[in-house]
Amino acid sequence: MKQYRSSTVPDYLLRYAARSMHTTARRLIPDQPDMDRILQSSSDFSDDSWFSGMRSCIAERMRGKKRCHVFSLEKKIFYTCIPDEEGLAVLGPVRFPAPVVSRDNCSLYAIGMAAAETHYEEWLQSLPVIGTDTFIECSLLLIHSLHPDKNEDCADREAFIEGNFLSGSIHEDIQTRLSRMIFENRENNFIHNTYNHELRECVAVEQGNVEELNRTLEENFAGRYGSLSDDPLRQEIDMGIIIVTLSSRAAIRGGLSYETAFTMSDNFIHLLEETKDVIMAQHIARQAELQYCTLVHEQNTLNRTEDKAPENKHISHCKDYIYTHLHSKLTVQKIAAELGLEPNYLSALFRRYEKVPLKQYIILAKIQLVKNLLTYSSYSCSEIATYLCFTSQSHMGEQFRKVTGMTPRQYREKYHRDDFLQTSS
């Protein structure tokens, strides 16, 4: 015989759960606020004024939902809501003794209570503190009252936690795993490579000191890199991403344009993710590190002057704009308009601080990118000229020859890196 199915959470169970949690039980009719009822309340606190804003948030987000849902307020105060045929059964507010993150959080601003923020901490301290187990068990009790023929088993508990919280036990898992790893490393005499070694690599990139970087990379050290994955290829890819990230930030600190650094980072990480070879992954990572270092060195050489004044904020903004718009047609007039300056004033200011005309600086920045594309890409000269908005391929070639002493074709023949672009399939 098929067992009876209830479609409404019984009021007596709501009261029982509220008493177990030392909190309030409510029955809400989303579209009829006047029909709301408080079934059980606590003499230790009052949340009537706070819940008025929370109610609207709950009613809106529960619209159409058929499953129990947990809401938090400011990631510290929790309510559980169970939809049934009469509307919504709501338990809360409660606090937990340890940090727990719900998937659905409301802010004081979102519920229209930002003005009451000064009283929030006082109200928070008045709320009951219960264990997460009690909160989950009471919620499951109400859920199963709707389906008495369905046994309460572990799967239901796990589904409730997974659906409403972000890894509730992750803190414990991390601590347990960390303790085990520390013990195993000591037992196996495992030693990571020293931070000093990593620091010297980053300093070399930041200073553009290619010779020092090569010397540091050739060193043998007693330790080794940590294990990021059990798969050897994934291990090298992840290590490569770390090296690229650290190198890009070091290069930015060394003066490389953040747009150039981030674009290079994106490119190198894509290459790492596409490779199927452990050795190639190592090669890509080290080439990235060396290229960042080389670009910082070239820029330091370009900018080195004996009496250079501290950089002006307008000049900093100007250079940032140039490096983020190298693929566009750049003119002094356009840049000045973007910065809200008069063109002649910007030109004079730039020459004063950089010791080079602004128009020439734009050409030098574009030529630097041309060199990079000729070395590390397979784009044709005409494609590069179009991409960087030179008036023509011959114009790019003329400017390139003035700066490097070579034609773009000669430069590519000398420096093109076919081995770098290829990855094993």
**Is 261 found in the same domain as 114?**
no
The pLDDT assigned to 303 comes to: 64
- Same domain for 94 and 214? no
pLDDT at 354: 84
3-state class of 377 per DSSP? coil
In a domain, 73, yes or no: yes
Instruction: Report which of residues 11 and 301 the model is more confident about.
Output: 11
pLDDT in tens, 194-210: 556 677 788 889 888 88
Same domain, 348 and 285: no
- Give dist(CA 340, CA 342) in Å, integer: 7
Domain for residue 383, yes or no? yes
- Asked if residue 39 and residue 161 are part of one domain, the reply reads yes
Per the structure, the count of domains in the chain is 3
The predicted-structure confidence for 94-140, as pLDDT tens digits, reads as follows 998 888 888 888 888 888 877 666 788 888 888 999 888 889 989 99
pLDDT reported for residue 223: 44
Find the Cα–Cα–Cα–Cα dihedral 373, 374, 375, 377, rounded to 10°.
Answer: 60
| Residues 30 and 149 occupy one common structural domain | yes
The residue with greater pLDDT, 342 or 60, is 342
Q: Of the ranges 13-27, 125-139, 160-174, which one carries the lowest mean pLDDT score?
A: 160-174
- pLDDT, one tens digit per residue, over 241-251 is 989 999 999 89
Residues 292 and 317 in one domain: no
- Reported as type and span, the H/E element at residue 141 is helix 132-145
- When pLDDT is averaged across residues 355-376 and rounded to a whole number, the result is 87
The answer to whether residue 275 sits within a structural domain is yes
Q: Using DSSP bridges, classify how beta strands 105-106 and 69-73 pair: parallel, antiparallel or unpaired.
A: parallel
What one-letter code names the amino acid at 406?
Answer: M
Query: What is 297-341 written as a DSSP string?
Result: HHHHHHH--TTPPPPPHHHHHHHHHHHH-TTS---HHHHHHHHT-
More confident residue, 279 or 424: 279
**Same structural domain, 67 and 123:** yes
Q: Which domain holds residue 120?
A: 11-171
Is 74 part of any domain? yes
> Which residue has 């992954």 as its token pair?
281
Q: What is the mean pLDDT of residues 377-395?
A: 88
Q: Which residue has the higher pLDDT, 165 or 420?
A: 165
Q: Are residues 28 and 161 in the same domain?
A: yes
Question: Where does the pLDDT of residue 397 fall: very low under 50, low under 70, confident under 90, or very high at 90 and above?
Answer: very high
- Of 269, 303, 337, which one is at a domain's C-terminal end? 303
Q: pLDDT tens-digit profile of 238-275?
A: 888 989 999 999 898 888 887 788 888 888 898 899 88
| Co-location of 299 and 317 in the same domain | no
Q: Please identify, among 279, 303, 327, the residue that sits at the C-terminal boundary of a domain.
A: 303
pLDDT at residue 170, as a whole number: 41
Q: Does 259 share its domain with 397?
A: no
In a domain, 165, yes or no: yes
Residues 50 and 153 in one domain: yes
CATH code, 380 = 1.10.10.60
Average pLDDT over residues 76-85: 91
The verdict on 129 and 240 lying in the same domain is no
Domain membership flag for residue 82: yes
Residue partners of 42: CB distance under 8 A and separation at least 6: 18, 22, 23, 24, 128
